[in-house]
């Protein structure tokens, strides 16, 4: 049975963060499964290649743009809802899936509820962290989010720091408006349930771009690693760079190479690090195809980083600083000895000296990838909808 599915995100797609990547990969996966897929975002039609995948794009109205940040804000207004109501009738929408916590997602969830359309909300991270210096901004964050979304703020204390709690409250308030909440990881799902959400299911992100390839030669050339993410403090690029400086000081140059993608370089700490700037998903594909493993240095922030899914799809394991991610990914992950740069360096040095240590994690990566394949993702969404419809008939949802 095919459906007409509306995917919604408030973020601009020209800035390819993990949420945007997961959003677009889901659109492709669902379209490939035969569903009629429409994506709505402030710049949805910038994704020109989606037409070939059978995906329809719609640029949402924008209420205003935050000066200096190029951040579009869509208010959950009567005008926005009226426009969405007409569009959803035109598209004959059977299912709504939202991927963000702001006004556009809130408006779509509101209209879906009025029209009796099942809805799902994907939480890309519940582990928001604000800068310590902005702690006093917590009430303002809650007020602005309430104004943009029209949703009642969460009164729960969701983190020790007030700003972190307010940021996580934004996610919680939008998630509560959906029939079903999707968490790509088990560890995040547990935290969401502890926060009061009972309608949570785990469905992995997916990637249809990459195909598993044999590992490049394990005995010749440098050990090649890829770090790809936003250049944001919570991603801890500094840990990867410091680790590489240690690795080079121990092994010398040319033994390990780290390819870094995701932002503008301020200067490599050593000859073993190469910055590639911001690259497309296809660019990440090329880097992974020539790599032995990906590196993820975040700790306590990430739910299921898309670089992990892309690495697994390419048959590459991930080296992780976060012990929670190591548990989440099982044998597809290589856990650093601890969360510091020194711990990561020790792990990389061991791998450089004994590359056979990569074989079992690489096999684990292929197994994990099968569970996150595009066809399996589409089947999981279909099963989730059957669950929603069954629960609605029993009166568990609106």
Considering the domain boundaries, does residue 112 fall inside one? yes
> What was the pLDDT predicted at 214?
55
43 shares its domain with 31: yes
Query: What are 20-31's pLDDT values in tens digits?
Result: 999 999 999 999
Same domain flag for 346 and 383: no
Strands 55-59 and 64-66: unpaired
Instruction: Decide if 62 contacts 72 (C-beta within 8 A).
Output: yes
List residues bridging with 121 in a β-sheet: 98, 181
Does residue 329 sit within a domain? yes
Is residue 336 within 8 Å of residue 311, measured between CB atoms? no
Whether 153 and 241 map to the same domain: the answer is no
In a domain, 398, yes or no: no
Calpha distance 166→373 (Å, rounded): 34
Residues 109, 99, 93: CA angle, nearest 5 degrees: 45
User: Which residues, in sequence order, are bridge partners of residue 295?
Assistant: 319
Give long-range contacts, CB 8 A cutoff, 24+ apart: 287-291.
Answer: 287/226, 287/228, 287/259, 287/261, 288/210, 288/226, 288/314, 288/316, 289/213, 289/314, 290/216, 290/224, 291/216, 291/224, 291/225, 291/226, 291/259, 291/316
Alpha helices by DSSP H, listed for 33-101, are 78-91
pLDDT in tens, 283-320: 898 999 999 999 999 999 999 999 999 999 999 999 99
3-state secondary structure of 54: coil
302 within domain boundaries: yes
The total number of structural domains that make up the chain = 2
Measure the CA–CA gap between 258 and 24, rounded to whole angstroms.
27
**For the residues of 328-379, what is the DSSP string, one character each?**
HHGGGEEE-SSSSHHHHHHHHHHHHH-GGGGHHHHHHHHHHHHHT-HHHHHH
Whether residue 392 contacts residue 179, with contact meaning beta carbons closer than 8 Å, is answered with yes
Using alpha carbons only, give the angle 203, 114, 170 rounded to the nearest 5 degrees.
50
Please give the structure tokens belonging to residue 337.
């000895």
Would residue 217 count as lying in a domain?
A: no
212 is a domain residue: no
> Whose CA is closest to 63, among 118, 122, 120, 107?
107
Element (H, E) at 295: strand 293-296
Among 68, 67, 66, 85, smallest CA distance to 76 is for 85
Q: Are residues 387 and 345 in the same domain?
A: no
Residue 217 pLDDT: 46
Would you give the DSSP letter of residue 121? E
Q: Are residues 339 and 389 in the same domain?
A: no
User: Which residues have a Cβ under 8 Å from the Cβ of 286 and sit 6 or more positions away?
Assistant: none
Q: What is the CATH number of the domain that holds 103?
A: 3.40.50.2000
Residues in the chain with pLDDT values less than 50: 210, 212, 217
Indicate if 168 and 232 belong to the same structural domain.
no
Domain that holds residue 264: 223-371
| Phi, psi dihedrals of residue 135, rounded to the nearest 5° | -60, -35
State whether 47 and 194 are in the same domain. Answer: yes
Same domain, yes or no, for 201 and 64?
Answer: yes
- The answer to the question of residue 125 being in a domain is yes
Verify that 247 and 304 share a domain, yes or no. yes
Residue 98's SS3 state is strand
Question: Rounded to whole angstroms, what are the CA distances from 144 to 60, 137, 138, 149, 345?
Answer: 20, 11, 10, 9, 42
The answer to whether residues 173 and 307 belong to one domain is no
Q: Are residues 89 and 145 in the same domain?
A: yes
- Please check whether residue 225 is in contact with residue 295, taking contact to mean a CB–CB distance below 8 angstroms: yes
Residues 364 and 378 reside in one and the same domain: no
Q: What share of the chain is helix, strand, coil (3-state, %, to 5)?
A: 45, 15, 35
Tokens of 168: 């996580």
Q: Is residue 153 part of a domain?
A: yes
Neighbours of 155 (CB within 10 A): 8
């Amino acid at each position: 049975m095919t459906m007409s599915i509306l995917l919604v995100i408030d973020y601009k797609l020209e800035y390819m963060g993990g949420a945007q990547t997961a959003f677009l990969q889901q659109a492709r996966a669902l379209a490939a499964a035969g569903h009629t897929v429409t994506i709505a975002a402030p710049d949805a039609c910038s994704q020109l290649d989606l037409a070939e995948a059978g995906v329809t794009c719609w640029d949402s109205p924008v209420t205003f743009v935050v000066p200096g940040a190029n951040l579009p804000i869509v208010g959950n207004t009567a005008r926005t809802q009226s426009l969405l109501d007409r569009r959803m009738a035109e598209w004959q929408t059977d299912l709504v899936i939202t991927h963000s916590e702001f006004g556009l997602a809130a408006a779509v969830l509101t209209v879906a509820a009025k029209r009796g359309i099942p809805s799902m909300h994907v939480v890309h991270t519940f582990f928001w962290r604000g800068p310590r210096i902005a702690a006093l901004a917590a009430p303002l964050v809650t007020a602005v989010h309430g104004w943009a979304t029209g949703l009642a703020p969460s009164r729960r204390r969701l983190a020790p720091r007030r700003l972190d709690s307010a940021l996580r409250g934004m996610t919680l308030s939008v998630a509560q408006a959906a029939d079903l909440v999707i968490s790509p990881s088990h560890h995040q799902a547990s935290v969401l349930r502890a926060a009061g959400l009972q309608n949570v299911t785990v469905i992995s992100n997916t990637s249809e771009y990459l195909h598993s390839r044999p590992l490049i030669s394990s005995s010749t050339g440098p050990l090649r690693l890829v770090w790809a993410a936003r250049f944001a403090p919570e991603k801890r690029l500094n840990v990867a760079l410091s680790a590489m400086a240690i690795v080079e000081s121990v092994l010398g140059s040319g033994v390990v190479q780290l390819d870094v993608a995701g932002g503008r370089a301020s200067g490599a700490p050593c000859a073993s690090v190469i910055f590639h700037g911001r690259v497309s998903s296809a660019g990440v594909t090329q880097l992974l195809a020539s790599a032995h493993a990906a590196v993820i240095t975040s700790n306590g922030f990430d739910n299921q980083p898309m670089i992990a899914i892309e690495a697994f799809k390419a048959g590459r394991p991930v080296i992780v600083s976060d012990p929670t991610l190591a548990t989440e990914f099982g044998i597809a992950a290589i856990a650093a000895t601890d969360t510091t740069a020194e711990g990561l360096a020790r792990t990389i040095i061991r791998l450089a000296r004994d590359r056979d240590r990569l074989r079992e994690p690489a096999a684990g990566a292929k197994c994990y990838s099968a569970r996150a394949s595009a066809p399996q993702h589409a089947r999981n969404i279909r099963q989730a909808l059957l669950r929603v419809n069954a629960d609605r008939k029993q009166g568990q949802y609106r």
